[in-house]
Structure formats: C-alpha cells, structure tokens
Amino acid sequence: MENEEIIEEYEINSEGVSIAIRIVKSVKYGIKYNLILPKFGPGTKALMDEIKDDLVSEVALKTEEIIDPKVVETLKKRFKEKARELIKKYMPKISNKVRNQIIGTLLHEITGLGVIEYLLSDGNLEEIVINSSKEPIRVYHKKYGWLETNVRIEDEAQIQNYATIIARRVGRQITTLNPLLDAHLVTGDRANAVLYPISTKGNTITIRKFARDPWTVTDFIKNKTCNTRIFSLIWLAIQYEMNILISGGTGSGKTSFLNVILSFIPPNHRVLSIEDTRELLLPEHLYWCPLVIRLPNPEGKGEITMLDLLINALRMRPDRIILGEIRRAQDAEVLFEAMHTGHSVYATVHANTIGETIKRLINPPIEVPPNLLGAVDLNIVMFRDRRKGIRRVYQVGEYLLGEEGGKTVVRPNILFRYKPEDDKIVQHSESLKFFEEINRHTGLSLKEIYKDLKEKESILKWIVKKNIRKIEDVGEIMKRYYLDKDSLLKMIKK
C-alpha cells in the first residue's frame, strides 16, 4: 500500500511455519498489524482440499481426543506424518519450505482455528478480537495497543464453527439457544464467544492470551512496577503466612502481581488456587493444586461456583489459599473465616486505593463485618497509567481497627505510596501493626526482622543483576533460599 512506513518487523513460528509480522504506519489508516501469510496458487489450493479430505477420513478422530488437551499433541503428530505422505504422493517436487507451509496451514484448519493460530503464537499480543466477518480481526499489542489486522474471517458460519470447536474441546455447547460461551483453549488462553443476534453485528469471539512466559519479580523490578524494598516486605509476609489482598482497577495488573509474589511461597506448603479461568502459573517445585469454576450446562445443571470450591478447599488441608477475585458476600465470608482459622490467604479485589478497598469490602454487595478485616496483614494497590502505558504499585498499607460510638471502624495506614512526578515508590508512614504481627507469629525482634529484610533485598538485587527472570529459575532460587539460605547468601556475597 502507498505511503506505508514499516515501524517494526519480526517473525513468529506456528506449527513449523515461519511468517513475518509487520507493524505499519500510514496517514490514512494509522498503525496496522499485518501478517505476511504463505500464498498458494489455485492448483495447490485444490490439491490441499483433496489432502484435507483424505486426512480427515484417514486419521479417525475420537471424541475423547477432541476434549482431552493431553492427546492434542499426539493427534497433531499423526496429522503431520499422514500429511507428509499425501503431499509426497500428490506434490513430489515441492521444496521443504512449501511442504512445511502446507502442512502447517492444513493443521491450523483441521485441528485449530485457522489463521487465528498465527495470532495465538505471537507473544506480543494480549487480546485477539473477531467482531464479525464484515470487519478485520483486531488485536491488542503490548507495545502499540489496539491494532487492526489485515485479515478477516471468511463468513459468519466460519466464526460460529470456531466457537463450536472451542466449546467442544471443553465438553460444552454454543448454540442459538445457548449463545454465550466462556471457555479456555488447549493453550490455556481464555475465550469468550457471543453469537448473532445477541451480538448484533455478527458472531463475536474474544481471546485473552495466557502468558507463555509470565512476568517474574525480576521483570517488575526492572520495569519499575515495584522495588526491592517492597518485594522484600511481601516476601517476609508470605514466608510467615500473613494474609495479603491485592487491589486495583481493571487491567491494572492485579493477577500478574499476585502471580509474581507467589514464587515466595516455601516449597513444602500445600497451595490451592481458585479462579474463574486459569490465569496463575506457579513454579513447578511448589505443591500446587489449581481449581477452576464450572458454568452450568444448557439445562442449568452441573455448576461449580467459587463458594463450592472455597468450602471444598478448606477440606483439602491447604497451607495457602489463593482466590482469583472477591466478588460476592458468600465468597468473602468464607475467605475471611479461612484467614481467622489460620490459613494463609491471598486474593484480589476491584478497588483503586486502600481506603476504597475497605469501603468495598464492608459495604454491599460484599459486606464483610469490619472486625474480620483485622485478619488482612498487607494490602497492595496496583495502578495503570493509561497515557504512559505503565503499571505501578500505587499504595502498600495495613488495616487498623478501632472503635467509634461502640462500632468497629477500619482505618487505612499507608506505608508506601507512588509518587508520579518522580515515577518512584516512597515511604509514607511507619507500620503500626505489621511488624508487631510478625513478632507475635515468629518471636523475631525488630532488629532480626530488619536483618531478614536486608538479606531478602540483597537476594532480589542479585537476581536482577544476574537477569534471572524465567519463572522456573526464580523458583529455584526461592527453593534454595528455604532449603539452604546460608550457602545462597555466601554465593551472592562472593
């Protein structure tokens, strides 16, 4: 296209097919996301249709293979082997590159979601949206925000077919009578579909991508989301089984921050997480059992709610309970009771400040009795600056309980706050409760607590200096800290 400037170009690989992604800018269309897809002539396309028919008839699909994600990889291998045989038979003279492109394209069409599979393979994307067949697919790029792509789905029937594939793989249905779907793909990505006429423009699919390479404490320190001092305080709280709430607005990074700090959990503790859909990803060494809710079937049966899982989790002898988000009074009541019965709890809640978090918790619809809030040891608030495209820890604080007119009142005590003019997190006030609670739980003196925090901070600075950022690598450092702290500290000092 005329007057288009390429501002970035990179390659992605999906099923052995490498394609180029071009981020282009023009005066007329702004910034666009272009996929440079393999092109096949009419003859090749006709042969590909024949091969596709042969593949579907020769590689028999069983229902359990479609549903069971563990079998999908084996299934793809079978398809690839058979496809190679058929391509050799029909097109013996083609190059290896074209053969791989044909196999990858066929695999996407038969076992996947067609061209969407390329978008799922791009680690720079957070969201993929199909609004209808009349509009191009749009994506949310980590660097450039919302972008229009150069691809669109052929027709509404194809979009509905993709929605049906997603539903079938999780043992569910999406039909005109049941036009809403909330499910997850084999890759762990979250998919939502709404069919026409509920979505008036046409059939809609929204895919929120699951992080293939999740954020770690190293990333958050490097990009100034949080600093080593606050992370060492959170690490101390997690080590000694304190309760932590993470607040923030939509898209402020609450779940990402929760995922980052869970690496601080000691390796011999039983961890149970409860979520709407799987978003958390913990290091492999942790003793972790992830649980997810289940929506009712078309007849309204089989629903498993947060409350069901929360009550059940308490019977599974957990050391740590992680709740994706506090939304309802019942969930909050059970969660706060779990805190008071000695379980270490971590959860997220929608609120923009510590004061707002308290108001949201004690007022309808959540309505937790104010006296129960004393069980919360730390409240971290996340903030997203939409203009600059940055996420920061906005406040870190504790809850102080008092009495007014014979009633329990909860006041916030902000320990650290974000200073936007300097883009820094600074100390706001001294703790009146947190260190006292640590002392009561552990018998550590204030001097010993400060020494412990300094050690933790030195480890975090060393992790950042050495650029140890993979979740498993950070997990190994944490595991080593709990098993042999002295040798780890000696190594860092050297």
Same domain, yes or no: 200 and 307: no
Tens of pLDDT, residue by residue over 286-306, are 999 999 888 777 777 889 998
Q: Is the pLDDT of residue 320 over 60?
A: yes
The torsion angle over the Cα atoms of residues 472, 477, 478 and 479, rounded to 10 degrees, is 80
Q: Are residues 196 and 224 in the same domain?
A: no
pLDDT tens-digit readout, 257-269: 999 999 999 999 9
**pLDDT, average across residues 308-327:** 93
Q: What are the distances in angstroms from CA 466 to CA 222, 370, 459, 461, 478?
A: 12, 45, 11, 9, 15
Predicted structure pTM score: 0.83
pLDDT in tens, 49-107: 888 887 777 665 554 555 555 666 777 788 888 888 888 888 888 888 888 888 888 88
Q: What is the CATH number of the domain that holds 111?
A: 3.30.450.380
Which of the four pLDDT bands, split at 50, 70 and 90, describes residue 409? very high
**Amino acid at position 151, single letter:** V
Q: Are 103 and 15 in contact (CB under 8 A)?
A: yes
| Cis omega (within 30 of 0) for bond into 290 | no
The average confidence (pLDDT) of the chain is 90
Task: Give the pLDDT of residue 389.
Answer: 80
H or E segment and range at residue 292: strand 287-292
Same-domain status, 327 and 349: yes
Say if residue 155's pLDDT is above 80.
yes
Given this model, what pLDDT does residue 469 score? 94
Given 208, 225, 249, which residue is the final one in a domain? Answer: 208
3-state secondary structure of 57: helix
Query: CA–CA separation, 264 vs 233, rounded Å?
Result: 11
Confidence of residue 486 (pLDDT cuts 50, 70, 90): very high
Statement to judge: residues 224 and 181 lie in one domain? no
Residue 84 and residue 173 in one domain = yes
By the 8 A CB rule, do 278 and 259 touch? no
Same domain, residue pair 294 and 165: no
- Co-location of 156 and 281 in the same domain: no
Percent of the chain with pLDDT over 70: 97
Residues present in the chain in total: 494
374 and 430 inside one domain: yes
Kindly tell me if the per-residue pLDDT of 411 is higher than 90: yes
Do 227 and 103 belong to one domain?
A: no
User: What letter would DSSP give residue 200?
Assistant: T
Span 193-201, average pLDDT = 95
Angle at which helices 471-483 and 485-493 pack, to 10 degrees?
Answer: 110
Q: How many domains does the chain have?
A: 2
Confidence of residue 228 (pLDDT cuts 50, 70, 90): very high
pLDDT of residue 66: 53
Give the residue from 179, 208, 237 where a domain finishes: 208
In order of 220, 322, 367, the CA distances from 357 in angstroms are 23, 18, 12
61 and 188 both lie in a single domain:
yes
Phi and psi torsions of 410, nearest 5°: -115, 125
- State yes or no: pLDDT of 2 exceeds 60: no
Q: 169 pLDDT band (50/70/90 cuts)?
A: confident
Stretch 376-380: mean pLDDT: 98
Does the pLDDT value for residue 326 go beyond 60?
yes
Q: Is residue 24 a contact partner of residue 41, using CB atoms and an 8 Å limit?
A: no
**Do residue 224 and residue 107 come from a single domain?**
no
Residue 58 has a pLDDT of: 66
Mean per-residue pLDDT, 401-405: 92
Q: Which tokens in the block code for residue 245?
A: 């709430």
Q: Which CATH number covers residue 355?
A: 3.40.50.300
Residue 188, pLDDT above cutoff 80: no
Among candidate residues 183, 208, 233, the one where a domain is terminated: 208
One domain, residues 175 and 255:
no
Domain that holds residue 279: 217-493
Per-residue model confidence (pLDDT) at position 95: 85
- Cα–Cα distance for residue pair 480/247, rounded to 1 Å: 30
Confidence category of residue 39, pLDDT binned at 50, 70, 90: confident
